[in-house]
């Protein structure tokens, strides 16, 4: 009887979930020391970290307190960054406020509302219905606006607001006029002046699908099907998304990461959460397995072990379908 009791206790102990956080991200929350992650990307890393913490709580409700502490620490690190009025920075900060809401009471209700109203105002004031990603920069990236809209959706959901609908309606009207004729997908940059602007690109489309699923699930699903059709490829056992449409070959950049046999590393990494957002668990598993296999070869080097890559991977691992 005693041996049976011990065995039962051991089984119970192994079944107890434990909070998971990559060591590099835990260190960042602990000491606030960044690696070589470019300053403008740090808030993006933190919003992914916050979302990964929220998703882990949803997957394992017993981890609510640990997840809540993680999100609050992430918000503290975000607020410790150099203040920026850029739309990109404000949108990702707003996502973090929304992440806090999802696990408990709003951290700073007045500031959360102020940022949300400002992002909605900027979106409506712009002729292309995009809150400018960077002050003084006239380029307009749909991927960045999808984050802005997701942050508005989170505020409305948590606070009973109605700030999303007008910016979303205006953005959809504009986007309908800026779709690629061959694929039916959004062009990567709307003014036509950005690098590769006239083409859809994988990193942007994965990003859009993941965040647009929070503000407009139907449109996100429509674009996801077209994205899968035109960009998903398999090279041997490796599955991934092309960075550029078939027939278009361009070099990688800071957004795409390395491009290997046409497959974009960023497009495929962001594609994991995008697939899960669409309930496409089978593809998400294939992308995760492929990413592990490719990373094992040393592709990406130190960058793959950095905060930004680790945060994206962490959020993708835990992302929950709506």
Q: 299: pLDDT confidence band, cut at 50, 70 and 90?
A: low
Cβ atoms of 91 and 151 within 8 Å: the answer is: yes
Q: Which of 12-16, 69-73, 131-135 has the lowest mean pLDDT?
A: 12-16
- φ/ψ of residue 159, rounded to 5: -120, 10
Q: 3: pLDDT confidence band, cut at 50, 70 and 90?
A: very low
Q: What is the pTM of this model?
A: 0.92
DSSP states of 94-152 as a string?
HHHHHHHHHHSS-S-HHHHHHHHHHHHHHHHHSTTS---SSTT-----HHHHHHHHHHH
Residue 278 has which token pair? 């669409």
Q: 297: pLDDT confidence band, cut at 50, 70 and 90?
A: low
**3-class SS at 311?**
helix
| pLDDT value of residue 16 | 62
What percent of the chain shows pLDDT beyond 70? 92
Cβ atoms of 265 and 202 within 8 Å: the answer is: no
| pLDDT value of residue 92 | 98
pLDDT digits (tens, 9 = 90+) for 134-178: 999 999 999 999 999 999 999 999 999 999 999 999 999 999 999
pLDDT digits (tens, 9 = 90+) for 178-206: 999 999 999 999 999 988 899 999 999 99
Q: How far is CA 122 from CA 9, 39, 86, 116, 293, in A?
A: 57, 23, 11, 10, 42
| pLDDT value of residue 305 | 75
What percent of the chain shows pLDDT beyond 90? 81
Domain locations in the chain?
A: 36-177, 179-317
Q: Which of 156-160, 188-192, 293-297, 310-314 has the lowest mean pLDDT?
A: 293-297
């Amino acid at each position: 009887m005693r041996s049976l009791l011990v065995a039962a206790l051991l089984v119970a102990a192994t079944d107890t979930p434990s909070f998971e956080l990559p060591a590099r991200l835990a260190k960042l929350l602990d000491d606030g020391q960044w690696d070589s992650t470019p300053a403008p990307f740090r808030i993006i890393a933190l919003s992914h970290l916050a979302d990964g913490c929220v998703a882990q709580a949803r997957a394992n409700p017993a981890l609510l307190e640990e997840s809540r502490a993680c999100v609050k620490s992430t918000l503290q690190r975000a607020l410790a960054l150099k203040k920026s009025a850029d739309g990109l920075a404000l949108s990702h900060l707003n996502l973090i406020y929304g992440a806090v809401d999802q696990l408990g009471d709003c951290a700073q209700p007045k500031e959360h509302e102020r940022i949300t109203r400002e992002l909605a105002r900027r979106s409506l004031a712009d002729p292309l219905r995009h809150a400018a990603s960077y002050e003084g920069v006239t380029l307009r990236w749909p991927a960045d606006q999808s984050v802005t809209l997701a942050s508005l959706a989170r505020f409305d959901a948590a606070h009973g607001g109605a700030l999303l609908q007008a910016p979303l309606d205006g953005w959809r009207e504009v986007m309908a006029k800026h779709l690629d004729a061959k694929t039916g997908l959004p062009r990567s940059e709307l003014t036509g002046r950005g690098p590769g602007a006239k083409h859809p690109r994988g990193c942007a489309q994965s990003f859009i699908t993941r965040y647009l699923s929070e503000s407009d699930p139907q449109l996100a699903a429509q674009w996801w099907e077209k994205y899968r059709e035109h960009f998903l490829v398999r090279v041997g056992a490796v599955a991934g998304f092309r960075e550029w449409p078939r027939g278009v070959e361009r070099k990688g950049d800071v957004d795409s990461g390395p491009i290997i046999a046409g497959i974009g590393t960023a497009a495929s990494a962001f594609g994991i959460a995008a697939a899960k957002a669409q309930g496409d668990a089978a593809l998400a598993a294939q992308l995760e397995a492929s990413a592990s296999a490719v990373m094992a070869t040393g592709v990406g080097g130190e960058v793959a072990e950095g905060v930004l890559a680790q945060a994206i991977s962490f959020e993708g691992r835990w992302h929950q379908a709506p």
